[in-house]
Structure 1
Amino acid sequence: MTAAARTPAALLQAALVADPGRPLVTFYDDATGERVELSVATLANWVAKTANLLQGDLNAEPGDRLALLLPAHWQSAVWLLACSSVGVVADVGGDPGGADLVVSGPDTLDAARACSGERIALALRPLGGRFPQPPEGFLDYAVEVPGQGDRFAPFAPVDADEPALVVAGAERTGAEVVEKAAADATGLGLTGPGSRLLSGLAYDTWQGLAAGLYAPLATGGSVVLCRNLDQLDEAALAKRVESERVTATAR
């Protein structure tokens, strides 16, 4: 962890400077057969585009609350880091009715309509595909994000000591997210650069977020993020662990 990096977005920028080409997030969906590998540079590009969408088109400001209604997914990781880039509080699984804006997957659209602010929907289709027909009352993320800029600069500096993340009812500042991710890394089997953690945990707890994003990012490691991992038998899982050069698992 870089001493100056006190937010998750700053950790990503430090990783981009250190080694932009290394894998950071490898995503599997074992219900669809999807596999996506994102290097540090590729993930950072998605984050920059999403942060520009958030700050520019959606007029989000530091301190605004975003209800994030998404599963463990590579696009969820993008949104978490984009929120950190802008200073928006990512409320994972939060109440859309009390949020300034909401980001929803296809299975939570009805709940997301309780948000009176901007609503963004993700189809969560392979390769970031769009909805065949955009849900009424929502912007389709896959339509809106490609035209956004590849570089991001916040209109206002992000304060690492302000709230940044809410999960399972617990609120943490950006600095607290970074500190706890680094502290929890050893218990997850992350020993430093080159460590590769396979996580089948959901993103609705701190442990799932730490294993599935923050701890690998804080330690210079990488994550193999698996959705619907329960559809693999033990032999297939062992094969994945070997092929992906996994050094630790969280299930």
Structure 2
Amino acid sequence: MTATFAADARTPADLLRSALDGDPARPLVTFYDDGTGERVELSVRTFDNWVAKTSNLLQDELGAGPGDRAALLLPAHWQTAVWLLACWSVGVAAAPGGDPEPADLVVSGPDGLEAAQACSGERVALALRPLGGRFPQRPAGFLDYAAEVPAQGDRFAPYSPVDPEAVALETETGGLPLRLTGEEVVQHARAGAARLGIAPGSRVLSTLPYDTWEGLEAGLLAPLAAGASVVLCRNSAELSAEQWEQRTASERVTLRLG
């Protein structure tokens, strides 16, 4: 079944469009931050709306386009998943955890702001606060994502078609660099879904970071490629076995990774 979902998809953005054409009301990303008690659930439609707004911000406000590279200094978070799909919708290569100095733009959470200043291009800061809240005070030299994104359009169309054969992702696997085109991201994601037994309707819980292929596969791409959904858990190392059991049951988790 995993091989037939979005059979004509050649980019990760194509996978999201296929999910939207299928059942837009179903959950796509459920996020827990056990450090703050936050829980956010985004349907396919709501997630796509965030991606559209972020894509418009990238293209129109930040002037990003095909051939550009974005360093994403962000944890595994629902807003990080949005930024990844926005980059791929515009045609920007995403580098989670990548070096910001040579990047055309950098997107950073609170913990990466100092390192992000090495980027001479556009800089965007995410507060990563519950409900997508703003920074109490905008970091100097950065746009505050939460302040900028609400005004963006709810529909997105790239000025230039996204080339499936252009580099879309720079990450690592097993400690080795990995550069993938959009088409290769889709192929790897499908292979991962088949290997892990992820099928349409599966609920995959991941505690892995987004700075390796393994974390991206488990926490976003393989479920997206299979027509499944993901439960992302952050700051959850202190959860007891009983709490994990309760979460697994309440979220109807079918596979836990990490």
The aligned residue for residue 181 of structure 2 is 173
Partner residue of 1:194? 201
Instruction: Check whether the contact 1:7–1:160 (CA below 8 A) recurs between aligned residues.
Output: yes
One-letter amino acid of the counterpart of residue 188, structure 1: L
Instruction: Give secondary structure in 1 for the equivalent of 2:190.
Output: helix
> How high is the TM-score relative to the length of structure 2?
0.96
Q: What 5-or-longer segments of structure 2 have no aligned partner?
A: none
Give yes or no for the alignment of 1:6 onto 2:10. yes
Q: Aligned residues: percent identity? A: 68
Gap regions ≥5 residues in structure 1: none
Partner of 2:25 in structure 1? 21
Q: Give the superposition deviation at 1:193.
A: 1.0
Residue 238 of structure 1: aligned partner: 245
Q: In the alignment, is the contact (CA less than 8 A) between 1:188 and 1:250 conserved in 2?
A: no
- 1:197-244: CA deviation from partner (whole Å, max 9, x where unpaired): 000111111010011000000000000010112121111001100000
User: Are residues 1:54 and 2:67 paired?
Assistant: no
TM-score, normalised with respect to structure 1 = 0.98
Q: Contact 1:129–1:142 (CA<8 Å) still a contact in 2?
A: yes
RMSD: 0.7
In the other structure, the counterpart of 1:229 is 236
CA–CA distance in 2 between the matches of 1:185 and 1:193?
Answer: 10
The alignment partner of 2:18 has SS state of helix
Correspondence for 2:96 among 92, 95, 102: 92
- Structure 1 residue 102 corresponds to structure 2 residue 110: no
State the 1:188 CA deviation: 2.7
The reply to whether residue 156 of structure 1 matches residue 160 of structure 2 is yes
How many angstroms apart in 2 are the aligned matches of 1:231 and 1:12? 33
- Is the deviation greater in 166-175 or in 62-71? 166-175
Shift of 1:21: 0.2
State the secondary structure of the residue aligned to 1:229.
coil
How many residues matched?
250
Q: Give 4+ residue runs of structure 1 displaced > 6 Å after superposition.
A: none
